[in-house]
Amino acid sequence: MKMAMACALAMLLGVASGFAAPPDDVYHLGPDSEPHEGVPQGKVVGPAALPSTVYPNTTRDYWVYVPAQYDPSKPACLMVFFDGHAYVGLKGSYRIPYVFDNLIHRREMPVTIGVFINPGHTSEQKEASDSNWGDGTTNRRVEYNALDDKYSKLIVDELLPVITKQYNISPDPENRAISGASSGAICAFTVAWHRPDQFRKVVSTIGSFTNIMGGHVYPDLIRKSEPKPIRIFLQDGVNDNRGLRRDGSYDPTRDWHAQNIKMVQALTEKKYDVNFTWGIGTHSNKQGGAIMPEMLRWLWRDYPRTDDAKDDSNRTLLVPAAAAKAPAPAPGG
């Protein structure tokens, strides 16, 4: 059976290599990932360094996105991104500052402070960057792939106090989201899994719910545990890493796509608020970046909009806050 599965996967990957272009090239960033005239732009502060006692002798860079609509007198929502350098950049696959600018302006997500945090590194290791992402030269594997609550302590006990001291962040866990790709994705889920009192919204792209450090057990763990108040969107591609060893044998615990499917099945069985999409991509950020705006709309779909404009039939009109407060045009204007 395993050999048959290995052959089938090899054929699938062979078909993928026969495309006129790599399968990831079918995914392109849309207008929500670009700047637009008339859309207020938030500012990105950083990088700043965050040392840790949870992971002794390590430090990591982080950035903070502050939306133009942020009012220090009003609590803002919060969204944390792991492998922060990959999300905060304006030329990469995600370009979150542009996405937040557009969605917040159109009231498709709430006013949200974004925090982009890198994995840690020791004095002998390099700071994470686009050139060494996931190559073992940082503390990423240990921090992101373990299933214990250690990394959640770094986020909750070390990062959040710094952020909440500087910005007015809502304490409601329903107003806090967390996101990552690959090992960063399983890390995001793990933080929410251990601390749903702090984070209840998760975006996972090409999530490594695989046996790197035992992550393949999550589907069974979800089934055996009481449901937690977590909303999660998962993305993966059928041409992701498929568990083929060098000798051609198949290891189901190292099949990224199969494990993502198992996650959705387990979450659905336990009646979690879950959404997902499967594409044809590889272990790449291109599809995740292309659909990130839509994932965020879904994630924040029910946030309360208390000052929307209304038309004569008393229907709510979802318009940018600035437009909602603008004076009515003069007669005949």
The CA distances from residue 330 to 49, 155, 326, 327, 333, in Å, are: 52, 51, 12, 9, 5
Q: What is the pLDDT of residue 33?
A: 98
The residue among 68, 51, 69 whose CA lies nearest residue 60 is: 51
Choose the weakest-confidence range: 8-17, 43-52, 143-152.
8-17
User: Which stretches of the chain are assigned E, i.e. beta strand?
Assistant: 43-52, 58-66, 77-82, 112-117, 176-181, 201-205, 231-237, 242-244, 250-255, 273-279, 309-310, 316-317
The CA distances from residue 114 to 64, 216, 328, in Å, are: 6, 29, 33
For range 276-301, the mean pLDDT: 97
Confidence tier at 101 by pLDDT (50, 70, 90):
very high
Residue 269 has pLDDT above 50, yes or no: yes
- Alpha-carbon span 9 to 258, nearest angstrom: 11
Q: What is the pLDDT of residue 319?
A: 53
Q: Coil, helix or strand for 42?
A: coil
The secondary structure of residue 217, as a DSSP letter, is: G
Higher per-residue confidence, 10 vs 220: 220
> pLDDT tens across 36-85, in order?
999 999 999 999 999 999 999 999 999 999 999 999 999 999 999 999 99
Question: What tokens does 21 get?
Answer: 């272009």
Residue 296 has pLDDT above 70, yes or no: yes
Residue 327 has pLDDT above 50, yes or no: no
Please return the burial class of 92, using the count of CB atoms within 10 Å of its CB with bins 0-12, 13-18 and 19+.
middle
- Alpha-carbon span 110 to 100, nearest angstrom: 9
The CA distances from residue 40 to 47, 99, 200, 330, in Å, are: 22, 12, 28, 25
Confidence tier at 5 by pLDDT (50, 70, 90):
very low
Residue 304 has pLDDT above 90, yes or no: no
How many residues in total does the chain contain? 333
Q: For the chain, first and last CA: distance in Å?
A: 73
Q: What is the pLDDT of residue 10?
A: 45
Confidence tier at 290 by pLDDT (50, 70, 90):
very high
* CB-CB contact of 241 with 254 (8 Å): yes
Average pLDDT of the chain, as a whole number:
88
pTM tops 0.75, yes or no: yes
For range 166-192, the mean pLDDT: 98
Could you give the percent of the chain with pLDDT greater than 90? 77
For range 150-174, the mean pLDDT: 98
Q: What is the pLDDT of residue 262?
A: 98
Q: What is the pLDDT of residue 127?
A: 81
Q: What is the pLDDT of residue 138?
A: 84
Please name each of the domains of the chain with its CATH number.
2-302 (3.40.50.1820)
Angle made by CA atoms 155, 292, 59, in degrees to the nearest 5: 25
Residue 322 has pLDDT above 50, yes or no: no
Q: What is the pLDDT of residue 12?
A: 46
Choose the weakest-confidence range: 21-25, 196-200, 236-240.
21-25
* CB-CB contact of 62 with 116 (8 Å): yes
- Alpha-carbon span 134 to 138, nearest angstrom: 8
Give the gyration radius of the chain's Cα atoms: 21
Q: What is the pLDDT of residue 11?
A: 42
For range 250-270, the mean pLDDT: 97
* CB-CB contact of 177 with 295 (8 Å): no
